[in-house]
Structure 1
Amino acid sequence: MQLTFDILRGVHIFGGFLALAVFWIPIVTKKGGRAHNRAGRMYVVAMGGVSATAFLMGAYRLTWDAGPDADAIPFAWFLMFVSILSAATAWYGIRVLRHKRRTAPHRKPLDLLFPALLFASGVGISAYGWAIHFPLLQYFPILGLFLGGTQLLYWLTVPAKKSHWAVEHIVGMLSCCISTITAFLVFGAPRLLGVDSVNLLVWFLPTIVFVPLIIGFANVYKRKFDDRRLKI
């Protein structure tokens, strides 16, 4: 089992660094352009691998070997939650593009499963965090509650504005960026810096930085597309 875990960790690290290397390209390049699309696809593929390996490594820590660290179990739950957050937001960011012309509620099971799982895991992990008094697990999963709830609402309602798909694509992909950088700060940065822990504020820094960025980009595309109400 240890060999399997080491392989998963190697794939996870490679995918994580690839995602960190390219995530900024779609943000700064022309939206819909060649560089934007290519880097975006590369980022989604990398995050797919990162999410899958993170979930499996977290499950391994919970069921086979938690290790000597007293916080290994809480961090394993956090790793699994981040894997769900990353997968759900990346999937959502891609799928809203595939269905940008929809004029009715969208009820495809897989598109509803991811946000439902994200919402449920947010509830469960946050409750667990409060039970063990672990601040990272108390507050960070609230992001999953919000995103999972808003994704479900988006799919199950009729789009009211022309900008709906562009705004939701931005929300999905930049939310995935939050999970990418947060996971690096929680797991990667302490090891690279040779420290035992990082200030809690640093862990929440990606959320603090990216939420205004999401709002800013969303407002730009609302102004660009919503010169009139979408006619259904």
Structure 2
Amino acid sequence: MELFQFFKILHIIGGFIALFVFWVPIVTKKGGKAHRVTGWVYTGGMIVVAISAFYMGAYRIFFDQHANPELVSFSWFLIFIAILSSAAAYYGIRVLRYKNRKDRHRNVLDLFYPLLLLSSGIGMCIYGGVNDVPLLTWFPLVGIFLGISQLSYWLQKPKKKMHWWFEHFSGMLACCISTITAFMVFGAPRLLAIESVSILLWFLPTIVITPLIVGLSIYYRKKFIKKAA
């Protein structure tokens, strides 16, 4: 079996695992066994997806002599999705690790990931604009926003109670955005034998999940305030 095919199979397996379990941590009791177990299963699936996506994208761009411009563009998008999903999942885990911090956070790797996400988002927007690819022009704005948001969180002293809790679920839900978006762009059209998908459908996960993040933040903030009172 060729190495590319091996990574492709890994990518499909990891993607379907993540796609099937991502909703469980959202609806189960936070901190409970089901939440933690399925959360780690989802994270493991996304690690496999990110590594395999990065390899396949890089292979198509730099080593596949038969790759056409459209395939190269989607390969760059695949690499960006790999960076976005892994950065969001990593952030969601690391904020729990440092939930008791009282000062600014200067860990090199924790700062490197959002910087990579920010710079790759800017690069992809420029690439998409130059090559007139709307998906690559506008979707990376999600990465730019998340990169700035993560850097801001690490470089400032915590000001709110349970700050780590809100950052954790926002990071993991952002990872969900990349999971579903990748499926909309790559998986669903191939499974359904559809040649062309509306660009609105590609942005649908962002449109739906972003208000969910905001709504859950408001709900749990009120809940924690009420509990404290």
TM over 0.5, yes or no?
Answer: yes
Establish whether residue 83 from structure 1 lines up as the match of residue 82 from structure 2: yes
- Paired residue for 1:155? 154
Query: 2-side partners of 1:40 and 1:24: how far apart?
Result: 9
Q: CA deviation at 1:170?
A: 1.2
Establish whether residue 167 from structure 1 lines up as the match of residue 166 from structure 2: yes
- SS state of the match for residue 2, structure 2? helix
Q: CA deviation at 1:67?
A: 4.1
Establish whether residue 206 from structure 1 lines up as the match of residue 226 from structure 2: no
Whether the aligned pair in 2 keeps the contact of 1:170 and 1:217 (CA below 8 Å) is: no
Query: 2-side partners of 1:67 and 1:190: how far apart?
Result: 22
Query: 1-side partners of 2:97 and 2:67: how far apart?
Result: 46
Q: CA deviation at 1:220?
A: 1.9
Query: 2-side partners of 1:33 and 1:56: how far apart?
Result: 35
| 1:46-195 superposed matches below 5 A | 46-65=45-64, 67=66, 69-195=68-194
Query: 1-side partners of 2:99 and 2:223: how far apart?
Result: 16
Query: 1-side partners of 2:156 and 2:59: how far apart?
Result: 38
Q: Percent identity?
A: 54
Unaligned stretches of 5+ residues in structure 1? none
Q: CA deviation at 1:40?
A: 0.2
- Please list the CA deviations of residues 122-162 of structure 1 after superposition, one character each: whole Å capped at 9, or x if unmatched: 00000000001100000000000000001001000001000
Query: 2-side partners of 1:101 and 1:66: how far apart?
Result: 51
Q: 1:68 to 1:156 in 2, by over 3 A?
A: closer
**Normalising by the residue count of structure 1, what TM-score does the alignment of the two structures yield?**
0.95
Residue identity matched to 1:3? E
**Normalising by the residue count of structure 2, what TM-score does the alignment of the two structures yield?**
0.96
For the aligned residues, what is the CA RMSD?
1.6
Unaligned stretches of 5+ residues in structure 2? none
Q: 1:137 to 1:47 in 2, by over 3 A?
A: same
Query: 1-side partners of 2:65 and 2:42: how far apart?
Result: 30
Whether the aligned pair in 1 keeps the contact of 2:60 and 2:67 (CA below 8 Å) is: no
Count residues with an aligned counterpart: 228
Whether the aligned pair in 1 keeps the contact of 2:84 and 2:175 (CA below 8 Å) is: yes
Whether the aligned pair in 1 keeps the contact of 2:99 and 2:164 (CA below 8 Å) is: yes
Q: CA deviation at 1:227?
A: 6.6
- Please list the CA deviations of residues 39-97 of structure 1 after superposition, one character each: whole Å capped at 9, or x if unmatched: 00110111011001101100000011164554101100000000000000000001111
